[in-house]
């Protein structure tokens, strides 16, 4: 008995009709997104859907919706020149989880020489607000 021959995932997916349609749709949306980015290079828009001549685009913040409404005629005209039959553009906010900030590093307090220089500087400065701020900074780090 021969061991079963393995196939790569793409050939397996294209053999199944429903997955083949999904792959075609994904390729079509990727091509449409590339044309949208060429038409509006300053806007980071993601193509979410394209059905019944209605294009749905999204971005990370809802403030982009106003900009999309402003440039809708320009976008429809540019996509029409590329062969896309778009009658309307809608916006959908795509909220993503915020990226975690880098962990804070523990900072070392300033050395005695630095604190002495800050104290000296506070005596030389004439501006009263800056003079007080420097004096408070020196006092905070003095033993």
Q: What are 91-104's pLDDT values in tens digits?
A: 998 877 666 777 77
User: Please, which pLDDT band fits residue 1 given cuts at 50, 70 and 90?
Assistant: low
Q: Which residues contact 112 (CB under 8 A, 6 or more apart)?
A: none
Instruction: Give the pLDDT confidence of 44-65 residue by residue, as tens digits.
Output: 899 999 999 999 999 888 888 8
Average pLDDT over residues 120-134: 91
CA distances from 96 to 44, 46, 99 (A): 14, 13, 9
Q: Is the model's pLDDT at 2 over the cut of 80?
A: no
State the pTM of this model: 0.57
């Amino acid at each position: 008995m021969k061991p079963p021959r393995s196939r790569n995932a793409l050939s397996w997916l294209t053999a199944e009709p429903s997955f083949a349609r999904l792959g075609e749709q994904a390729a079509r949306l990727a091509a449409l997104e590339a044309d949208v980015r060429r038409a509006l290079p300053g806007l980071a828009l993601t193509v979410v859907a394209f059905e019944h001549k209605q294009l749905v685009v999204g971005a990370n913040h809802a403030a982009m919706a106003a900009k999309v409404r402003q440039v809708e005629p320009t976008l429809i005209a540019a996509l029409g020149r590329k062969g896309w039959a778009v009658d309307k553009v809608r916006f959908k906010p795509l909220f993503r989880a915020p990226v975690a900030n880098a962990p804070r590093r523990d900072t070392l307090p300033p050395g005695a020489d630095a604190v002495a220089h800050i104290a000296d500087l506070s005596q030389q400065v004439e501006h009263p607000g800056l003079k007080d701020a420097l004096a408070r900074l020196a006092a905070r780090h003095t033993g």
